Structure 1
Amino acid sequence: MTNEQEIKSVRIADLPSFDGQRVRLQGWLYNQRGTGKLLFLLLRDGSGIAQGVVSAKNVSEDDFEAARSLTQESSLELIGTVKLDQRAPGGAEISVDQVAVVHLAEPYPISKKEHGSGFLMDHRHLWLRSKRQTAVLRVRHQIIKSFRNYLDDDGFFCVDSPIFTPNACEGTSTLFETEYFDDKAYLTQSGQLYAEAAAMALGKVYCFGPTFRAEKSKTRRHLTEFWMLEPEIAFADLEQVIGVAEGMVRHTIRQVLEHCQQDLIDLERDPELLESWDCEWPRVRYDDAAAMLMEWKAAGKYESEFKPGDDLGAPDETALGEHYGCPVAVTHWPQEIKAFYMKRDPADESKVLGVDIIAPTAGEIIGGAVREDDYEILLGRINDHQLSVEAFQWYLDLRKFGSVPHGGFGLGLERTVSWLTGVEHLRECIPFPRTLQRIYP
C-alpha cells in the first residue's frame, strides 16, 4: 500500500514535468463542471490553474460526493496521475483517484456576474484570487525580482530608508504628518536623501519601499501609498543615471516576457508591444519637447493647456509617448518646476540636470537627476524653498565631508506594473490600494 506522505506535493506551474507520475495538488476550487459520473474540477494554487478529472469509477463513493458538493473557493487536495494534454489549462491535467476537502467555503460573494469597482474594492481581500488579479500580482513580483537582480549584479547594495522622517523631500503640501512621542514626524515621500548618504558610504546603492503622498487626487494614476525603487550613484553624471535606468527597465521587460507568458495572455497583453519597448531610449531636452507639443497643439493633433515652462500633464506625456513609441528621456528641465536638490546645468543656470522617463501609454514612470553637491548652493536652495535648515543639516553635512558629483532616480513600481500589464488603474497594480477615498480593507 502506498504511503500517502510519500506522494509528492507539486505546484500547478510544475505539473507538466510530472507526466505519468502520481502527485498531490493543494489549492482552491476555481470552477467546476460535469454531469453524471464525471466531474471536471479547476484548481488554482497561485502558480496557475489545473484541471482535475474526477470519474466515479476511479474514486470512492464518498470522495465523488465530496467533489460534487464543492463550492467556489473551497480548499482541497487532489491526488492523481498527471497526463499531458494541450487542451487542458497549463498543458496538463490529473486523473484524480482521491479527493480531500480541507474546508467547504460559504457562498462566495464575488460571482461570475459583473460587479462594480466599489464592490470589488470592498472585497479586495477576496478579489485578489481572480485570474486577472493573480496575473497582475505575479507580473509585479517578476518586475521587483528583475529590478533587484539587475542592480545587485551591477554592484549596487540595497539599503533601507526610514518610514518616519523629520522633513520633506518632495514638497510640504503632500506630507502625512503624525505624532512622534513629543515631536512631529512625517511619513516618507522618498528614500532618496538617505540613499544619497548611503552612496557616500557604499558607492552604488538602492532603496525600495513604500512612500506616501497626501495628494487629494482621484485619478487612476494616483495612490496615497505606493512603492518606489530609488538607486543612487556616486561619481555619476546625468547620462550615467539614464543609462542605469534604461538598462534596468529593458532587462525587466525581457524577464517579464520570458517568465510571465501565461499572465500576459490572461491579461490580454500583446507580447509584441512589450518587445517593441525593448529599444534604445531617445533623449530629448525639455525645450525641444515643449516646442513639439506646441506645434502639435497648433495643428490640432491633441488638446492640452500646456505652455513652455509648465510641467508635463497626462495629455502631454501621452502625446510624447505616442510620438516616440518607446520610453523617452526628457532632460534639462526648468529649475522652477523641479526639486531644490537638483543640480543646475552649468551651461544654462535656468535648467536643472534632471530627467523624466515617459513611457508609451503610461506617462512618467521615472524621475531622476544629478544632485547638487555644493554646500553653499544647496543651503541657498533650502532657504529659497523656505525649508528648515536645522531639519536638513544632516543632508547638508554630506556636502562638507568628501562631497562628490552623484545622481539617481526614483521609479514608481505601480506605474511600471500598469505600463507592462496594460491594467489602466493603479488600484489594481498593488495588493491593497490606499487612495483619497479608501483605506479598507
Structure 2
Amino acid sequence: MKTTISEVGKYVDQTVTIGAWLANKRSSGKIAFLQLRDGTGFIQGVVVKAEVDEEVFKQAKELTQESSLYVTGVVRKDERSPSGYELTVTSLEIIHAATDYPITPKEHGTEFLMDHRHLWLRSRRQHAVMKVRNEIIRATYEFFNENGFAKVDPPILTGNSAEGTTNLFHTKYFDEEAFLSQSGQLYMEAAAMALGKVFSFGPTFRAEKSKTRRHLIEFWMIEPEMAFMDHDESLEVQEKYVSHIAQSVLKNCQQELKALERDTSKLEKVQAPFPRISYDEAIEMLQKDGHEIKWGEDFGAPHETAIAEKYDKPVFITNYPAEIKAFYMKPHPERPEVVLCADLIAPEGYGEIIGGSQRIDDEELLKQRYDEHNLSLDAYQWYLDLRKYGSVPHSGFGLGLERTVAWMCGVEHVRETIPFPRLLNRLYP
C-alpha cells in the first residue's frame, strides 16, 4: 500500500511504501535509524540488520543525506515519536543518491542559509513554518467564506497608489508609467460597492530601504472591505478573524508548533474580544514609561513592543492623528484632527499585523484630501466615483501574512515566513 507519512496512522501493523528523502541518519552497528521526510511530515525508519536482507542493510548504512528513495515497512505505534509512529523497514529502493548536500546538521550562518533557501526549505523548522503559513491561509478562506465575503483579485500593475507614490516600484506599461501594487485596497472598495463584503489575498510590494526583522520588499496581504459597516463593526470582524486563525493553527498544527518549540499557552489566549486603547492613551502610557515621544508622532517598533507588553493578547490602538495616516481615512465626527482607524499590535514584540479604518464616504471631503495630498484628480477620478454614485459608510483592513506567521510560529525574522524572501539586498534564489 503506497501512502504518505501524514497518513500512516491508518495503517498500523500493515506494510506500506512511502516515497521519501533522507533528512538524517544514525546507526549503532546492528540497527540503522533513518530520519525520513516526504513533504507531509517526518518519520523514523528503523532498519534491523538481523531482520532484512544483507543488501538492504548495506543500502541503509550507505544512504546519504537528501537521497530520494521508496521505503517499504511495517507501521508501528511509537509514543516517543513526534508523529506517534515509526516504520520498521523491510526494503529500500533508491531513486537518486545525493552527494555533498550543502546544508549539513551543523550550524550554518544566515547568509549561507539564505543563499541556499531552495534547499533550506526542506529542514524540519522551515517545513513547520511553511505548514503554519498554509494553515493560516486555509483558515483565512474558511473564515471569510463562512461569513459571506466574496474573494476578489485586485490588479498587481496599477496606474496609481493607495498611499501616495513614494516607496513604489515603477515600471513601464507600454508607453505609460505604472507601479507594482502596494495595496489592493482602493480596488477592493470598488468591489465592496458591487458585492457588499469582499476580501483579496495577494502579493504587495514596498520599495522601502528597510532592513528590520519585520520588513520584506514583497509580502502577502489579506485585505477585506465591507459596505454598510462602521469602524467599530470592522474591529469586531478583525478580532474574530485573528482569533479564528490562531485557534485553527493551535488545533491543526500541533506537531509543527512542537517542532518550533512554540509556547502555545500564549496563542491559547488569542480569543476575541481584544483590548482597545486610543492613540492618546498610548502616548500617555509611553511618556509615563520614559519614552521620548510627542503627540502627533508615529510609533516605532520599540513603542509598539512596550505597549504590547502590557497585554497578553493583541491590542487595538485607535484614532491616530489624521496627519500621520492615509488620505482616505474618515475623520472622527467629534475630533476631526484624528481619524476612525486602528492598528492591531501583536503580543511578544511582533508589532503591527493589521491596519484598518473607516473610509471617507463624502465626495467633497475626499476631493479636499486629494488637494491636500497633491493627488491627481484624473488618476483618482474612478475612486471619487465611488462617493458620487450611491456612497455608503464602509470600512476595511489589511493583515500582513508574514508578520502574522512569524508571531504564531514564534520565529524572530519574517524572512523565514515566506518561501523565497525578497529583501533589500536579496533577489536570489
Q: Partner of 1:385 in structure 2?
A: 373
**Does the CA-based 8 Å contact 1:139-1:263 persist in structure 2?**
yes
2:303 partner SS = helix
Q: Partner of 1:419 in structure 2?
A: 407
Q: Partner of 1:292 in structure 2?
A: 285
- In 2, the alpha carbon distance for the partners of 1:202 and 1:279 equals 27
Q: Partner of 1:85 in structure 2?
A: 78
- In 2, the alpha carbon distance for the partners of 1:35 and 1:315 equals 51
**Does the CA-based 8 Å contact 1:418-1:429 persist in structure 2?**
yes
Query: Residue 38 of structure 1 is aligned with which of 31, 37, 45?
Result: 31
Deviation at 1:17, TM superposition (A): 2.4
Matched, 1:111 2:99: no
Identity of aligned residues (%): 56
Q: Partner of 1:163 in structure 2?
A: 156
**Does the CA-based 8 Å contact 1:64-1:99 persist in structure 2?**
no
Matched, 1:323 2:317: no
Query: Residue 64 of structure 2 is aligned with which of 65, 71, 93?
Result: 71
Q: Partner of 1:437 in structure 2?
A: 425
Q: Partner of 1:301 in structure 2?
A: none
TM-score (norm 1): 0.95
Matches within 5 A, 1:31-430: 31-297=24-290, 304-361=291-348, 362-430=350-418
1:233 counterpart letter in structure 2: M
- In 2, the alpha carbon distance for the partners of 1:88 and 1:332 equals 50
Deviation at 1:27, TM superposition (A): 1.2
- In 1, the alpha carbon distance for the partners of 2:15 and 2:367 equals 70
- In 1, the alpha carbon distance for the partners of 2:216 and 2:52 equals 50
- In 2, the alpha carbon distance for the partners of 1:305 and 1:11 equals 56
- In 1, the alpha carbon distance for the partners of 2:92 and 2:224 equals 50
1:319 counterpart letter in structure 2: A
1:391 partner SS = helix
- In 2, the alpha carbon distance for the partners of 1:138 and 1:246 equals 23
**Does the CA-based 8 Å contact 1:174-1:215 persist in structure 2?**
yes
- Deviating more after overlay: 95-104 vs 84-93: 84-93
1:169 counterpart letter in structure 2: A
- In 2, the alpha carbon distance for the partners of 1:305 and 1:416 equals 28
**Does the CA-based 8 Å contact 2:27-2:61 persist in structure 1?**
no
TM-score (norm 2): 0.97
- In 2, the alpha carbon distance for the partners of 1:80 and 1:131 equals 23
Matches within 5 A, 1:11-22: 11-22=4-15
Deviation at 1:379, TM superposition (A): 1.4
Q: Deviations over 1:38-77 (max 9, x none)?
A: 2111101122211111223443333332222211011111
**Does the CA-based 8 Å contact 2:240-2:272 persist in structure 1?**
no
* Unpaired stretches in structure 2, ≥5 consecutive residues: none
1:258 counterpart letter in structure 2: K
1:355 counterpart letter in structure 2: A
Deviation at 1:110, TM superposition (A): 0.8
Deviation at 1:279, TM superposition (A): 4.4
Q: CA RMSD in A?
A: 1.2
